[in-house]
């Protein structure tokens, strides 16, 4: 009899934890769904457009790109920035040297050429 009662209480506690987790996660999932699909190329283009008519070598602070953006999009912009650095569109620099400095990332424009657009139009010789 004791084990049945203990099992029932344990089961009820588990159900309550699941309900609590659902109450927590559902609004967050809804918000994520409303934000829509993450297009790294589109976000990268927005970053490059922030350099507006700038020449190679122009430096901007990362937080300048985020001034009018929701906080939840910081990770998306950071990832797009890393992709731009990987394709040699920007160079990431440190603006405030120091141990654990916050908000210290600058971007130096290297090239505004979008490599993914070039590849979209590329036709391999074997396909011609």
Q: Is the pLDDT of residue 2 over 80?
A: no
Same domain as 43, residue 32 = no
Kindly report the CATH number assigned to the domain that includes residue 81.
1.10.10.580
Same domain as 42, residue 25 = no
The count of structural domains within the chain is 2
Q: What is the mean pLDDT of residues 79-99?
A: 88
Residue 67 contacts residue 53 (beta carbons within 8 Å): no
Q: Is the pLDDT of residue 127 over 50?
A: yes
Q: What is the mean pLDDT of residues 85-102?
A: 81
Same domain as 103, residue 69 = yes
- φ, ψ of residue 125 to 5 degrees: the values are -55, -35
Residue 57: pLDDT band with limits 50, 70, 90: confident
Same domain as 83, residue 28 = no
Please give the residue range of the domain that contains residue 2.
Answer: 1-36
The tokens for 100 are: 């654990």
Same domain as 113, residue 61 = yes
Same domain as 47, residue 104 = yes
Task: Measure the CA–CA gap between 128 and 112, rounded to whole angstroms.
Answer: 29
- φ, ψ of residue 12 to 5 degrees: the values are -65, -40
Same domain as 113, residue 65 = yes
User: For position 34, what pLDDT does the model report?
Assistant: 87
Same domain as 101, residue 73 = yes
Same domain as 64, residue 43 = yes
pLDDT in tens, 8-50: 889 999 999 999 999 999 999 998 888 888 999 999 999 999 8
Same domain as 122, residue 81 = yes
Question: What does pLDDT average to over the chain?
Answer: 84
Structural element, H or E, at residue 56 = none
């Amino acid at each position: 009899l004791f084990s049945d009662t203990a099992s029932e209480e344990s089961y009820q506690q588990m159900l309550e934890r699941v309900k609590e987790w659902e109450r927590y996660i559902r609004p967050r999932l809804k918000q994520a769904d409303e934000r829509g699909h993450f297009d790294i190329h589109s976000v990268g283009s927005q970053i490059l457009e922030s350099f507006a008519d700038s020449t190679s070598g122009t430096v901007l602070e990362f937080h300048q790109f985020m001034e009018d953006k929701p906080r939840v999009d910081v990770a998306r912009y950071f990832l797009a920035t890393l992709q731009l650095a990987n394709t040699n569109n920007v160079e990431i620099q440190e603006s405030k040297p120091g141990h654990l400095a916050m908000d210290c990332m600058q971007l130096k424009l290297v090239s505004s050429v979008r490599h993914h657009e070039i590849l979209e139009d590329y036709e391999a010789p074997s396909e011609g």
